[in-house]
Amino acid sequence: MPNWAPQLLLLLAFLSYKTTLHVAAKQWPVLGRSTRFYDFKVQTRRITKLCETKNVVTINGMFPGPVVYAQEGDRVIVKVTNETPHNATIHWHGVRQKLSCWFDGPAYITQCPIQTGHSFVYNFTLVNQKGTLLWHAHFSWLRATVYGAIIIYPKNGVHYPFKPPRAEHIIILGEYWLKDAIELEKATLAGGGPTFPADAYTINGRPGPNYNCSANDVYKIHVVAGKTYLLRIINAALNTEHFFTIANHKLTIVEADAEYTKPFSVDRLMIAPGQTMNVLVKADQPIGKYSMAMGPYMSARNVSFRKTPAIGFFQYKGTTPNGFAFSAQLPSFNGNFSVMRVMDGLRSLNTNKVPLEIDRNLFFTIGLNVEKCHSSNPKKSCRGPHGGVLAASINNISFISPNISLLQNYYYNAIIGHFTEDFPAAPSKPYDFVNGAPNNSPNDTQSVRGTRTMVLEYGTRVQLILQDTGTVTTENHPIHLHGYSFHVVGYGTGNYNPNKAKLNLVDPPYMNTIGVPVGGWAVIRFVADNPGVWFMHCHLEIHMSWGLSMAFIVKNGKGASETLPPPPADLPRC
Ligand code: C2O
C-alpha cells in the first residue's frame, strides 16, 4: 500500500460517515498516533417517525449522530457548537479521561452547559482503550436523540484477538418519544409518579415493521453466507434495559465496554443503557432473511413500559428483499436467567491488574424512595405510591444537581454552599435491604437530599459494594462511573454477605457500567488514580433525575503526571 493510502482511507471514512453507519474492516482509518478533529453542531431538525413530524435535537442534523472514529492512543478534538435554544453538553461515555476531567461532559459536574450560540472544544486522548464506546448529551434528557458511537481501533500493526470479520456494523439501541425530551423530564418530575413509556424502541433510529408507519423505517444488515460479521452493539436507550437477539444465529461476545472478553456464545444478550458489546455473528444459516430484535428487560414490579420489540433484518445476499423473515425470540420481559447467563460468561481476555489489597471498602445501597407530598394539588403532582413523590438515592441520599460546576468549584477551593464532602461510606442504618422496606409509605421511605461528594486520596484502592434495595421495587440498576473502568469482581442475588460472596480476582470483566442484579449486589474495584470530580449514577435517566447519583472527588497526587491541569480557557460559564 502506498504510504498516503491510510490518509486517503481516513478521508473516505470521514466523508462516508454521513451516509453510513458501517465501514468495511479493510477501510480502517489506520494511522500512527494522531489527532482526530470533529465538528459537532447541536442542531434542531424536523424528522418524521411513526407518522408524526417533530423537532428533535441532533448533532449535525443526524439521527443517530456521527461516529467518532479513532485509534488507540489518538487525541480527539471535538468542537461542539450549540445552535439550539436549549443548554447542551456532550459526554464521552467510557472514555477514561486521564488527566482531562474538564472534558468529561456531565452538566454541573465537570462543566456548566454550553449555552445557545456558544461552543466548547473537548480535547482528550484515548489512553489504553480500544473497542466500542458511545457519546451522548449529558444535560436533562437530551440524550434521547443526541447520541452516537465511538469506535477506537487497535494501534498500527495490532490485530483483533479474533479472525478479522468480513465487515463491521454499528447497532445502536434507542428509545424514541413523540414528546420533546426536555419536556418529558419536566412532566415526569412535575407529576411525581413514574415516567411515560417510550413511543417506540429503535435500532439505529429505526423502529421497524412492528410499529405504525415503520414498515420501511427498518435497519438492515446485508450479509454473505459463510462470512462472519462484527456487530458493535450500543445501548443508548434512556430508561430501559434491553435484550437483543438475531433469529437462528449465535452471538459470540468478544468485548464489553471497550475491553476484550474471552469469547462466549449466547442466543440473546441483555445490554443496559450505557453498555457496549461487540459480538461476532457467523452467517451460517440457509440463505434467507432473519429478524434482529430488541425488546425490554424490565425487572421492576408494577411499571408500565412499551412491550413491542424493534425489528431489523440480517439479510443474506440472494434473498428476495420483501420475502418472509424468520422471527427472533426474545426472552420474557423479566427474563433474569438470560441476564445472568451473559454476566456469568463475561471474563476479561487479558488478566487485568485487579487490586488485591483494599484501602477503602465502601457499601452503597441503590434504590427508589417515596417522598412526602408537599403539594396542594396531590392529584397533579404526587402520583407516586400512596400519594407520595417518587425519588431515588444512594445510601438513602438523593443527589441534588448544583447549578454551578462542581469541578470548577472544587478546583478553585470555592466549596461554600454548593456541595459537601460527607457522602457516607455505608448506609446510616443497616436493615434487610432487599426485603425489609416495611411498607412503601412516605414516612419510612424518605431520602435525605443533598449535593454530597466523597473525597478519595490519589491512588486509593477502592472496593465498592453496590446493593439493590426493595423500597418501592427491586430492580436491575445500570450503575455507571465516569473517568474509570472497574473490575466487576462479584455479584449475586439477595443481601450481600461477605462470608458467602465468591470474588473473581483473576479475570473479572473490566467495565464502566454494571447492571447490578435485581434484588442483588455487585462488587467492583478500582484504583482512584485519575484526579477530578467523577459522577457515578444509574444510567436509567429517570433514576438519575430522581437522585440516584453521587460524585467522587479524587485528589491530585504528586507531580504533573498525577495532577489535573488547569481548565481550558473556553470552559462554559453558568
Ligand atoms: Cu453515559 Cu453520566 O453517563
Q: Same domain for 244 and 269?
A: yes
Does residue 366 lie within any of the structural domains?
yes
Distance in angstroms (rounded) separating the CA atoms of residues 274 and 132: 11
Q: Is the CB of 543 under 6 A from ligand 1?
A: no
Q: Is the CB of 274 under 6 A from ligand 1?
A: yes
Q: Same domain for 395 and 320?
A: no
User: Is 242 in contact with 235 (CB distance < 8 Å)?
Assistant: yes
pLDDT of residue 389: 95
What does pTM read for this prediction?
A: 0.93
- Residue 557, classed as helix, strand or coil, is coil
pLDDT of residue 444: 57
Domain termination site, one of 123, 153, 183: 153
Q: Same domain for 529 and 405?
A: yes
Ligand 1, closest atom to CA 537? 2
Phi, psi of 556 (to 5 degrees): -65, 150
Does residue 571 lie within any of the structural domains?
no
pLDDT of residue 236: 98
What Cα–Cα distance (Å) separates residue 117 from each residue in 41, 43, 83, 106, 286? 10, 11, 5, 19, 54
- pLDDT, one tens digit per residue, over 375-398 is 999 999 999 998 999 999 999 999
Phi, psi of 249 (to 5 degrees): -120, 145
Say yes or no to pLDDT of 112 above 60: yes
Q: Which domain holds residue 193?
A: 167-345
Does residue 488 lie within any of the structural domains?
yes
User: Is 31 in contact with 7 (CB distance < 8 Å)?
Assistant: yes
| CA 93 / ligand 1 centre spacing (Å) | 6
Q: Same domain for 184 and 96?
A: no
Q: Is the CB of 482 under 6 A from ligand 1?
A: yes
Does residue 87 lie within any of the structural domains?
yes
Return the C-alpha cell found at 33.
498516533
| CA 352 / ligand 1 centre spacing (Å) | 24
Say yes or no to pLDDT of 12 above 50: no
Q: Is the CB of 93 under 6 A from ligand 1?
A: yes
Ligand 1, closest atom to CA 105? 2
Q: In the predicted model, what is the mean pLDDT of residues 100-124? A: 98
Distance in angstroms (rounded) separating the CA atoms of residues 221 and 283: 11
| CA 138 / ligand 1 centre spacing (Å) | 7
Does residue 404 lie within any of the structural domains?
yes
Ligand 1, closest atom to CA 134? 1
Say yes or no to pLDDT of 353 above 80: yes
| CA 482 / ligand 1 centre spacing (Å) | 7
Distance in angstroms (rounded) separating the CA atoms of residues 63 and 148: 8
Q: What percent of the chain has pLDDT over 90?
A: 87
Say yes or no to pLDDT of 420 above 90: yes
Q: Same domain for 136 and 228?
A: no
Q: Is the CB of 177 under 6 A from ligand 1?
A: no
Q: In the predicted model, what is the mean pLDDT of residues 33-61? A: 96
Say yes or no to pLDDT of 5 above 50: no
Q: Is the CB of 384 under 6 A from ligand 1?
A: no
Q: Is the CB of 537 under 6 A from ligand 1?
A: yes
| CA 484 / ligand 1 centre spacing (Å) | 12
| CA 153 / ligand 1 centre spacing (Å) | 22
Residue identified by cell 463491521 is: 168
The answer to whether the peptide bond before residue 113 is cis (omega within 30 degrees of 0) is no
Supply the residue whose CA is at minimum distance from atom 1 of ligand 1: 93
User: Is 564 in contact with 528 (CB distance < 8 Å)?
Assistant: no
Q: Is the CB of 480 under 6 A from ligand 1?
A: yes
Does residue 249 lie within any of the structural domains?
yes
- pLDDT, one tens digit per residue, over 276-317 is 999 999 999 999 999 999 999 999 998 899 999 999 999 999
In order, the DSSP letters of 11-29 are: HHHHHHTTT-S---GGG--
Residue identified by cell 408524526 is: 52
Domain termination site, one of 322, 345, 368: 345
Say yes or no to pLDDT of 20 above 60: no
User: Is 411 in contact with 564 (CB distance < 8 Å)?
Assistant: yes
Sequence-separated (6 or more) residues with CB below 8 Å from residue 553: 406, 410, 421, 453, 454, 455, 456, 532, 533, 534
Q: How far is CA 471 from the centre of its chain?
A: 24
Say yes or no to pLDDT of 153 above 70: yes
- Kind plus residue range of the DSSP H or E element containing 503: none
Say yes or no to pLDDT of 528 above 80: yes
Q: Same domain for 82 and 187?
A: no
Residue 180 pairs in a beta bridge with: none
Supply the residue whose CA is at minimum distance from atom 2 of ligand 1: 106
Say yes or no to pLDDT of 13 above 50: no
Q: Is the CB of 136 under 6 A from ligand 1?
A: yes
Ligand 1, closest atom to CA 535? 2
Residue type, 231: L
We report the CATH number of the domain holding residue 133 as 2.60.40.420
Q: What mean pLDDT value characterizes the chain?
A: 92
Nearest to 486 by CA among 354, 361, 367, 350: 354
Does residue 425 lie within any of the structural domains?
yes
Say yes or no to pLDDT of 156 above 50: yes
- Residue 198, classed as helix, strand or coil, is coil
| CA 274 / ligand 1 centre spacing (Å) | 7
pLDDT of residue 323: 84
Q: Same domain for 522 and 373?
A: yes
- Kind plus residue range of the DSSP H or E element containing 544: helix 541-546
Q: Same domain for 171 and 291?
A: yes
| CA 550 / ligand 1 centre spacing (Å) | 12
Confidence of residue 57 (pLDDT cuts 50, 70, 90): very high
Q: Same domain for 376 and 523?
A: yes
Q: In the predicted model, what is the mean pLDDT of residues 337-365? A: 95
CB-based contacts of 183-187 (< 8 A; 24+ apart in sequence): 184/141, 184/144, 185/140, 185/141, 185/541, 185/545
Does residue 549 lie within any of the structural domains?
yes
Q: Is the CB of 86 under 6 A from ligand 1?
A: no
pLDDT of residue 437: 57
Distance in angstroms (rounded) separating the CA atoms of residues 506 and 350: 10
Q: Is the CB of 525 under 6 A from ligand 1?
A: no
Domain termination site, one of 294, 310, 345: 345
Ligand 1, closest atom to CA 94? 1
Q: Look at 4-13, 204-213, 340-349, 505-514 and tell me which has the smallest mean pLDDT.
A: 4-13
Residue type, 270: M
| CA 233 / ligand 1 centre spacing (Å) | 17
Say yes or no to pLDDT of 16 above 50: no
Distance in angstroms (rounded) separating the CA atoms of residues 352 and 213: 48
Instruction: Report the domain count for the chain.
Output: 3
Q: Same domain for 330 and 381?
A: no
Supply the residue whose CA is at minimum distance from atom 3 of ligand 1: 93
User: Is 164 in contact with 25 (CB distance < 8 Å)?
Assistant: yes
Handedness of CA 551, 556, 557, 561 (dihedral sign): positive
Q: Same domain for 297 and 370?
A: no
Q: In the predicted model, what is the mean pLDDT of residues 170-175? A: 98
Say yes or no to pLDDT of 59 above 80: yes
What angle is formed at CA 312 by the lines to CA 307 and CA 317, rounded to 5 degrees?
155
Say yes or no to pLDDT of 28 above 60: no
Q: Same domain for 191 and 133?
A: no
Phi, psi of 407 (to 5 degrees): -65, -45
User: Is 104 in contact with 78 (CB distance < 8 Å)?
Assistant: no
Q: Is the CB of 138 under 6 A from ligand 1?
A: yes
Confidence of residue 445 (pLDDT cuts 50, 70, 90): confident
pLDDT of residue 33: 67
Distance in angstroms (rounded) separating the CA atoms of residues 205 and 49: 9
Nearest to 450 by CA among 395, 388, 532: 395
Nearest to 51 by CA among 210, 213, 243: 213
Say yes or no to pLDDT of 174 above 80: yes
Confidence of residue 439 (pLDDT cuts 50, 70, 90): low
pLDDT of residue 565: 97
Ligand 1, closest atom to CA 93? 1
